[in-house]
Amino acid sequence: MTRDMVLRVVAKLLIPFILLFALYVQFHGDFGPGGGFQAGVIFAAAMVFYAVIYGLDNARRVLPDWLVESMIAAGVLLYLGVGFAGLLLGGNFLDYFVLDPEPVAGQHRGIFWVEAGVAITVSGVMLKIFYLFAGRGTDGEQ
Amino acid sequence: MEALIVNALLALMMVSVVVLARTRNLFAVIVLAGLYSFLMATVMVALDAVDVAMTEAAVGAGVSTVLLLGALHLCRSEEAKPAHKPWLPLAVTATTGLVLVYGTWDLPAFSDAEAPIHKHVAPRYLEEGPRETGIPNMVTAVLASYRGYDTLGETTVVFTAGAGIIALLRRRRRSAADKEAP
Amino acid sequence: MNAHEHLPALQVVLPLAAAPLAVLLRDRVAAFVPVLAATWAAFAISVLMWLQVGESGPISYALGSWAPPWGIEYRVDSLSSLLLMLVSGVAAVVLPYGRASIEREIRQDNHALFYAMFALCLTGLLGIVITGDAFNLFVFLEISSLSSYVLIALGRDRRALVAAYQYLIMGTIRATFIVIGVGLLYLKTGTLNLADMGVRLQEMTSHRPVLAALAFLTVGISLKLALFPLHQWLPNAYAYAPSAVSAFLAATATKVSVYALLRFYFSVFGETAVFRRLPMEDFMLILALAGMFVASTVAIFQRDLKRLFAYSSVAQIGYIVLGISFDSVTGLTATIAHLVNHAVTKGGLFLLLGAAMAGMGGITLARVHGLGRVMPLTAFGIVLCGLSLIGVPGTAGFVSKWYLILAALEKGQWWLVFLIVASSLLAVAYVWRFVEAAYFHAPRADLAAVREAPAGLAIPAWIMVGATIWFGLDTSVTVGSAARAAGMLLRVAS
Amino acid sequence: MFAHIWSHFDYWAMLFLAMAGLFIVIARGNLIKKLVGLGIFQTSVYLLYLGPAKIVGGTAPIVDAAFKVYSNPLPHVLILTAIVVGVATLALGLALVVRIREAYGTIEEDEVLRRDVQPAGEEAQQ
């Protein structure tokens, strides 16, 4: 954690923009480069930045371990859920065409949720790894 | 011109790897590895693989470097001098290299539009993809739809690594409770 | 939705879904439930598909409803359905055993994650077997690899960490070799679908990139297969992993690699490319024989029983590869039958070793002195599995060796028959070392009061031992399916 | 010969990097350096896929009325997956290295192996 006032203020100003950028990368992936994986990394980077400036404990209060661990699992489950939705609606596994009466709209919907699943798992994993590595340094090796 | 840029960048990458192999200060090694990844990302932009370049910059130059530095911080170490002459590794590497020379010799030249990969499978993505999926970025369309199952596998790999690292590095519950007590 | 049509997807996706559920549930009892349900469901599905393939031929399933080669295809035929049944069947037996054994071997707050990793490992192995897409094979290979590194590292001994690290390095090198091989094939054909690749490669089997791809895939898969001399990672990995993990990996992981090798050799490159244009027959024969003799000899001198039988696995892989090298229906039948027979034998053996370890606190030869007296059932089971490794009539091991000998005779190679019998004598030697320790020594004073293994460990182990005997007496499932699969690979009507 | 090297330079670079990476993995004893080498070996293969995907004069495969020629999107997708697999492997490998360092006090492979071959071993504990 840093006590430098300038850094803390700058961080407070910057972090919302990083999160916004993550959202942009997530949703603009259809038209330009980007997608769930990249967005997940950027989102995790924002949280890591927060943890570096405000301390690991504060970051863990914002996004506690149980929540991060649940994100790791939830993303995969969301992806699988899209797959099962295809099954239930009469298509094959991961068939997006059946997700909407209009096949192309179904593709859109499927890709949207799948990318969301990727982003959730990736950001969760990156963040958890950071927590574990950083936590190892401070409370380990007493 | 495009080929020239790509080849120049590739040459730079080769130089950075040679320096990396000879460096024993691990901090320098990690910085060089980051540089290598960054060059790789630049090459990818030159090769029109913008999605891949973005990922390589974020992951190779970013996440990997941070992870390596984190691990180095926990291990505090300098590489020891190699104890024996690396004849066996040289032999293995040379053999692999020779097979690669043999194998890539007859491959289509750089930017050969008649190569099989441009004639089979991929054309449909480019010609029908926007209509079939409604998405102009074909990398996203192939990634999330045509080969969406691979991406499910990829997400699972990330999940596996994440859960595995939790299993390996998590401290016992008790110690966490101790920490909160005072 | 007609569940019947979607069995190929459910086969892999159900165990996959169990893993995040286990992580989400966190509690070690609650996490066990979905994983067990998914594992048993996977076994049931594989049996259903095996029956279906037997009746109406191969099943093709287009994931995401994108027709291959643009989308990813799942393909179940007589060979893959047998392997699916083997892998999920072993998992269905080993998982309940794991629940009992990890109580002693893994700290409690990691139990839920252990189940998740187990489910992922199963998912990966099933995915490799069922997929009809070269790159998808790599992705699922990595799922099974990453989860097995973790499973091995969960072992109690600190050497488990080193074994896992070395396995990770080996595994990644091998996966990269496979990606290079697949890449070369992709650049030549433009497709990733295995069947499509096979068709397009027909006219270019002598092109250099294709031959280089063959080399990379062979080395890459042989590393995973632990084919001699690329076997170094295996003994440590098996020796220091938790018992249930050793049993599961010993029974399935190398078998799935053999499957991948068969798939690439016969379905992608085609038998002519592999065996007519290159001296692959002789090459594989030499490696197989070297593995059979060197690894068996090394096994004799081990002090730790898990290591002893791990080396025995390397030797048994020699038999499996020997069958491929004959390039005949009988040879492949022997190979495929031995995949199953060796899987149940080694699976049972490692489960029993785990039970012995739970009782005696270790399984060095010195420690299991008098095992026959304190744990008579467990010791007897180990001896039965040992007999199968040797190839005594009435056990599964005999059946596959018999077909190997038939294949050798078909080719008129009498000297090979002699070598197969000779290598079996080496197996007698290493099994004898256990018999001597277990039956001709008194147990150590502090271990004299050890009791027979609890039912949670004994029942799964004896199911495997039972299968070892059953497949030795009734060969309709093993040899029957194997012959059908061999005929399919060589495109011979059976 | 020279023309061949120039027209196939991406392959030559790929195989050089692959060899260098493989050499570092096998020859070096430091567990972190090995992982760096492993990463180079893995990333070198990206060039094998991405190089041939490029068509000079083409653009990134984002379809738009303004362009006619695109580079091949399929290798891009495959390599995206490969990158993710690579970082997952690296993270897991580093976690193992951290644990090894805590259990052995060193991350030199020779030293780790030496510390396990104490004749005292498990037999002595009995």
Question: Could you tell me if residue B134 is inside a domain?
Answer: no
Average pLDDT of the segment spanning C310-316? 92
> Would you give the end-to-end CA distance of chain B in angstroms?
66
Which among C368, C228, C341, C349 is positioned nearest to C291, based on CA atoms?
C228
For residues D115 and C170, give the distance between their C-alpha atoms in angstroms, rounded to a whole number: 22
> Would you give the end-to-end CA distance of chain A in angstroms?
20
List residues in chain D touching C: CB distance below 8 A: 18, 22, 25, 31, 34, 38, 41-42, 45, 48-49, 52, 74-75, 78, 81-82, 85, 88-89, 92-93, 96-97, 99-100, 103-104, 112-113, 116, 122-123, 126
- Phi first, then psi: give them for residue D95, nearest 5 degrees: -60, -40
Cβ separation B103–C213 shorter than 8 A: yes
- Interface size C-D, in CB pairs within 8 Å, comes to 79
Question: Could you tell me if residue C318 is inside a domain?
Answer: yes
For residues C389 and C295, give the distance between their C-alpha atoms in angstroms, rounded to a whole number: 13
Q: Is the peptide bond before C20 cis (omega within 30 degrees of 0)?
A: no
Which among B2, B114, B39 is positioned nearest to D59, based on CA atoms?
B2
- This prediction's pTM: 0.94
Cβ separation D122–C362 shorter than 8 A: yes
User: In 3-state terms, what secondary structure has residue C494?
Assistant: coil
Q: Taking the C-alpha atoms of B49, B55, B58 and B60 in order, what is their torsion angle to the nearest 10 degrees? A: -90
Cβ separation A73–C16 shorter than 8 A: no
C-alpha distance from B142 to closest chain C C-alpha (Å): 9
- Phi first, then psi: give them for residue A56, nearest 5 degrees: -65, -40
For residues C94 and C90, give the distance between their C-alpha atoms in angstroms, rounded to a whole number: 6
Number of domains in chain D: 1
Q: Is the peptide bond before A101 cis (omega within 30 degrees of 0)?
A: no
Nearest residue, CB atoms, A37 vs list D62, D84, D98: D84
- Residue B156's alpha-carbon distances to B55, C120, C171, in angstroms, are 18, 8, 18
For residues C473 and C394, give the distance between their C-alpha atoms in angstroms, rounded to a whole number: 6
User: In 3-state terms, what secondary structure has residue D30?
Assistant: strand
Amino acid at C229: P
What b/e sequence results for C172-206 when a residue is b if at least 16 CB atoms lie within 10 Å of its CB, and e otherwise? bbbbbbbbbbbbbbbbbbbbbbbbbbbebbeebbe
Which among D48, D7, D39, D1 is positioned nearest to D20, based on CA atoms?
D39
Which among B112, B154, B119 is positioned nearest to C190, based on CA atoms?
B119
Number of domains in chain C: 1
Q: Indicate which CATH number applies to the domain containing D73.
A: 1.10.287.3510
User: In 3-state terms, what secondary structure has residue B180?
Assistant: helix
Q: Which chains touch C (3 or more CB pairs under 8 A)?
A: A, B, D
For residues D96 and B26, give the distance between their C-alpha atoms in angstroms, rounded to a whole number: 17
For residues A103 and A116, give the distance between their C-alpha atoms in angstroms, rounded to a whole number: 20
The range of the structural domain enclosing residue A50 comes to 5-139
The pLDDT value given to residue A2: 65
Render pLDDT for D36-83 as a digit per residue (tens, 0 to 9). Answer: 999 999 999 999 999 888 888 888 888 887 787 888 999 999 999 999
Average pLDDT of the segment spanning C403-413? 92
Number of domains in chain A: 1
Residue D109's contacts (CB-CB under 8 Å, 6 or more residues apart) are D29, D30, D31, D34
ipTM over 0.85: yes
C-alpha distance from A47 to closest chain C C-alpha (Å): 22
Cβ separation D62–A129 shorter than 8 A: no
The pLDDT value given to residue D118: 57
Angle (nearest 5°) at CA C260 between C257 and C262: 110
User: In 3-state terms, what secondary structure has residue B60?
Assistant: helix
Residue with tokens 């330009």: A32
Is the model's pLDDT at C213 over the cut of 70?
A: yes
The pLDDT value given to residue C344: 95
C-alpha distance from A73 to closest chain C C-alpha (Å): 5
The pLDDT value given to residue A1: 60
For residues B109 and D10, give the distance between their C-alpha atoms in angstroms, rounded to a whole number: 9
- Phi first, then psi: give them for residue C474, nearest 5 degrees: -115, 110
Which among D77, B121, D52, D72 is positioned nearest to C192, based on CA atoms?
B121
pLDDT band at C62 (very low <50, low <70, confident <90, very high): very high
Task: Specify whether the CB–CB gap between C259 and C126 falls below 8 A.
Answer: no
For residue B86, give the DSSP letter: -
The pLDDT value given to residue D125: 39
Is the model's pLDDT at B127 over the cut of 80?
A: yes
Of all helices (H) and strands (E), which one includes residue C61? strand C59-62
Chain A contact probe: residue of D98, D100, D101 with most A CBs at under 10 A: D98
For residues C45 and C126, give the distance between their C-alpha atoms in angstroms, rounded to a whole number: 12
For residue A104, give the DSSP letter: H
| Partners of residue B143 in chain C, C-beta under 8 Å | none
Provide the greatest CA pair distance for chain C: 70
For residues B73 and A133, give the distance between their C-alpha atoms in angstroms, rounded to a whole number: 10
Angle separating helix axes D109-116 and D31-53, nearest 10 degrees = 130
For residues C68 and C53, give the distance between their C-alpha atoms in angstroms, rounded to a whole number: 20
Q: Does B63 touch chain D (CB under 8 A)?
A: yes
Q: Does D113 touch chain B (CB under 8 A)?
A: no
Is the model's pLDDT at C408 over the cut of 90?
A: yes
The pLDDT value given to residue B172: 65
For residues B95 and B100, give the distance between their C-alpha atoms in angstroms, rounded to a whole number: 9
For residues C349 and C384, give the distance between their C-alpha atoms in angstroms, rounded to a whole number: 9
Task: Specify whether the CB–CB gap between B162 and A75 falls below 8 A.
Answer: no
DSSP result, C49-74: HHHHHHHH--EEEEGGGPPTTTS-EE
For residues C123 and C195, give the distance between their C-alpha atoms in angstroms, rounded to a whole number: 22
pLDDT band at C1 (very low <50, low <70, confident <90, very high): low
Is the model's pLDDT at B81 over the cut of 80?
A: no
Render pLDDT for C114-134 as a digit per residue (tens, 0 to 9). Answer: 999 999 999 999 999 999 999
* Tokens of residue B77, six digits: 């170490």
The range of the structural domain enclosing residue B5 comes to 1-79
pLDDT band at C227 (very low <50, low <70, confident <90, very high): confident
CA atoms within 13 A on the CB side of C108: 5
pLDDT band at B179 (very low <50, low <70, confident <90, very high): very low
Of B2-6, B83-87, C481-485, the one with minimum mean pLDDT is B83-87
- Phi first, then psi: give them for residue C454, nearest 5 degrees: -65, 160
DSSP result, C350-369: HHHHHHHHHHHS--BTTTTT
For residues B178 and D46, give the distance between their C-alpha atoms in angstroms, rounded to a whole number: 47
The pLDDT value given to residue A138: 55
Q: What percent of chain C has pLDDT over 70?
A: 99
Task: Specify whether the CB–CB gap between C174 and C221 falls below 8 A.
Answer: yes
Question: Could you tell me if residue D116 is inside a domain?
Answer: no
Render pLDDT for C326-362 as a digit per residue (tens, 0 to 9). Answer: 889 999 999 999 999 999 999 999 999 999 998 888 8
Task: Specify whether the CB–CB gap between A21 and A42 falls below 8 A.
Answer: yes
Which among C266, C256, C315, C270 is positioned nearest to C288, based on CA atoms?
C315
* Tokens of residue C50, six digits: 């095996």
Question: Could you tell me if residue C170 is inside a domain?
Answer: no
* Tokens of residue B180, six digits: 């909160």
Average pLDDT of the segment spanning B46-69? 90
- Residue D63's alpha-carbon distances to B13, C127, D55, D58, in angstroms, are 31, 33, 15, 11
Of all helices (H) and strands (E), which one includes residue A47? helix A36-54
Residue A93's contacts (CB-CB under 8 Å, 6 or more residues apart) are A83, A84, A86, A87, B149, C6, C9, C10, C13, C61, C63, C64
Mean confidence (pLDDT) of chain C:
91
Of A114-128, B73-87, C21-35, C390-404, the one with minimum mean pLDDT is B73-87
Cβ separation C183–D85 shorter than 8 A: no
| Partners of residue C366 in chain D, C-beta under 8 Å | 123, 126
Measured in whole angstroms, how far is the alpha carbon of residue C425 from the centre of its chain?
Answer: 24
- Phi first, then psi: give them for residue C76, nearest 5 degrees: -115, 115
Chain B contact probe: residue of D7, D25, D54 with most B CBs at under 10 A: D54
Cβ separation C143–B153 shorter than 8 A: yes
Residue B159's contacts (CB-CB under 8 Å, 6 or more residues apart) are A72, A73, A75, A76, A121, A125, C19, C20, C120
Render pLDDT for C32-57 as a digit per residue (tens, 0 to 9). Answer: 999 999 999 999 999 999 999 999 88
The pLDDT value given to residue C63: 93
Window 96-115 of C, Cβ < 8 Å to B: 107, 109-110, 113-114
Question: Could you tell me if residue C332 is inside a domain?
Answer: yes
Render pLDDT for C270-292 as a digit per residue (tens, 0 to 9). Answer: 877 777 777 888 888 998 999 89
Task: Specify whether the CB–CB gap between D63 and B138 falls below 8 A.
Answer: yes
User: In 3-state terms, what secondary structure has residue B137?
Assistant: strand
Number of domains in chain B: 1
Task: Specify whether the CB–CB gap between C84 and C126 falls below 8 A.
Answer: yes
Q: Does A12 touch chain D (CB under 8 A)?
A: no
For residue A140, give the DSSP letter: S
Render pLDDT for D72-113 as a digit per residue (tens, 0 to 9). Answer: 999 999 999 999 999 999 999 999 999 999 999 888 888 888
* Tokens of residue B2, six digits: 């495009």
Chain B contact probe: residue of A56, A57, A94, A98 with most B CBs at under 10 A: A94
What's the length of chain D?
126
Is the model's pLDDT at B54 over the cut of 70?
A: yes
Task: Specify whether the CB–CB gap between D92 and C150 falls below 8 A.
Answer: yes
For residue C304, give the DSSP letter: B
Q: Is the dihedral of CA B137, B138, B143, B149 positive or negative?
A: positive
Nearest residue, CB atoms, D89 vs list C162, C172, C303: C172
Mean confidence (pLDDT) of chain A:
88
Render pLDDT for A92-112 as a digit per residue (tens, 0 to 9). Answer: 999 999 998 998 999 999 999
